[in-house]
Amino acid sequence: MLIWSAAGILEKNKLANDKPFLVLVKIDVDGIPEPIRLVRDNQNQTWNDQLWQRFPIDFDQVKEDGKELSTVNLKVSNVQGIIQSYVQQYRGFCDAKVKIMVVHAAHLDNPVPEVELDFIITQTKYGEQWVTFIIGASNDHSFRFPFWRYMRDFCPYHYKDIQCGYAGDLPECDYTLSTCRWKGTNPNRFGGEQGIQST
């Protein structure tokens, strides 16, 4: 359930309002040092001390067929070819992170958006009028779950970090208990689980 701020609820429930809700789109692309910040409005906006460029943006309805992950088309104007040139230069924005936020134009001093949604670009298409990013949830199969794996003969700690505790001159480690003992490190710092029975 979305929880709106008190100011957002008041603005939403007004019968008439001269200030709109603004849709902000932030795209983080590997290789571009600054995120692309766009706002669906007819003028540039400053929010959270960042300039958001006015840009024609449109959304299609969420596609849910029960067979695949839900996706939505985020369409950005391609009239001057600005976004298309970035898309061609940076691998079609493949796996770029997209954050969609909704803020109210009368409350741009509020650093917390009314709505905030995170997506990943799964596919990109472009034509003369629109660059279409097909955005959806990130692929959970690309992340290790559970985060920690318990192994008998392998230490998961990074070499020479605080958990490892080794501060000597050897350039590398093979992350085994025998190497840990050979280096003279306290074997109690070894991160492997010696209590696990081998098969």
- Same domain, yes or no, for 65 and 160? no
Are residues 134 and 150 both part of a single domain? no
Domain match, 151 and 133 both: no
Is 13 a residue whose pLDDT tops 50?
Answer: yes
Q: Are 18 and 101 members of one domain?
A: yes
How many angstroms from the chain centroid is the CA of residue 171? 34
How many independent structural domains does the chain possess?
2
The dihedral over CA atoms of 122, 125, 126, 132, expressed in degrees to the nearest 10, equals -50
Instruction: Give percent of the chain with pLDDT exceeding 90.
Output: 39
The mean per-residue pLDDT over the stretch 42-51 comes to 95
pLDDT at 199: 62
b/e per residue, 1-17, with b = 16+ CB within 10 A? eeeeeeebeebeeeeee
- Based on the domain organization, do 154 and 119 belong to the same domain? no
Q: Report the candidate in 94, 75, 92 with the shortest Cα–Cα distance to residue 23.
A: 75
Choose the final residue of a domain: 92, 116, 140.
140
Domain carrying residue 84: 6-140
State the average pLDDT for the chain: 84
Q: What is the pLDDT of residue 22?
A: 94
Listed residues 140, 156, 176: the one ending a domain? 140
The answer to whether position 1 is within a domain reads: no
Q: What number is the average pLDDT over the span 120-127?
A: 92
The 10s digit of each residue's pLDDT in 70-102 is 789 999 999 888 889 999 999 999 889 999 999
Confidence at residue 139, expressed as pLDDT on a 0 to 100 scale = 63
In a domain, 72, yes or no: yes
Backbone angles phi, psi at 134, to 5 degrees: -90, 115
Beta strand pairing status for 21-28 and 36-39?
Answer: antiparallel
**Residue that wins the pLDDT comparison between 12 and 95:** 95
Residues 47 and 80 in one domain: yes
85 and 109 inside one domain:
yes
Same domain, 173 and 102: no
Same domain membership, residue 114 and residue 22: yes
3-class SS string, 1-62: CCCCCHHHHHHHHCCCCCCCEEEEEEEECCCCCCCEEEECCCCCEEECCEEEEECCEEECCC
Same-domain status, 131 and 179:
no
Q: What confidence score (pLDDT) does residue 1 get?
A: 47
Split at pLDDT 50, 70, 90, the class of 163 is: confident
Average pLDDT over residues 149-160: 76
Q: Is 131 a domain residue? A: yes
Same domain (yes/no): 50, 116: yes
197 vs 44 pLDDT, higher one: 44
Which CATH number does the domain housing residue 32 bear? 2.30.110
Instruction: Please tell me the pTM assigned to this model.
Output: 0.66
Does residue 75 share a domain with residue 39? yes
